[in-house]
Amino acid sequence: METGDWRTDRIGSALRGENPCVLRRLAAGFAVIGDVQFLPGYSVLLADDPQVSRLSELRRGRRLAFLADMDRLGEAVERACAGADPAFARVNLEILGNTDGFLHAHVWPRYAWEPADLRRMPVWLYPRDRWTDARHALAPQHDGLRAAIGAALDEDTSRPATTDGC
């Protein structure tokens, strides 16, 4: 496979160590930073088996591991983006599978500076140019955020979550 072809085989290239977007290998997949960054910090969890097309195809233990990895990546993106931009608002997590036929989960950071008409809507409603314009492509200016997400993934995630007492 030629350099640059990793986009046509995102999971296979991650398994071979050729996907340049991989942040970390997790229990059931790969945490990768998105190759489009119109919402800085956008990341994806790729299942580590390219033949798996939906969550329900995984055995229960593997399914729970994937969901735990999605939670872990979501928290890492949240922590990194909140530290990088005071306008960070939240993270949206999505498992869709409508375009790419392999199991993956999107982790979208959302910001107060987003256009008001899009801020409360699904990211998929953003204009097409946000997805294709080279100005929004993953580039060296995202290295700091990329490193922060990776560092957050490396931190101990075994601490208990906060609760409201219920």
Contact 104, 45 (CB under 8 A): yes
Check residue 156 and give its pLDDT.
63
Could you tell me the residue ranges of all domains in the chain?
5-154
Q: What long-range pairs does 95-98 form, CB within 8 A, spacing at least 24?
A: 95/55, 95/70, 97/53, 97/54
Backbone phi, psi, residue 69, to 5° = -65, -40
Q: Please name the CATH architecture into which domain 5-154 falls.
A: 2-Layer Sandwich (3.30)
pTM of the predicted model as reported, rounded to 2 decimal places: 0.90
Tens-digit pLDDT profile for residues 101-149: 899 999 999 999 999 999 999 999 999 999 999 999 999 999 999 999 9
pLDDT < 50 positions in the chain: 1-3, 162-163, 165-166
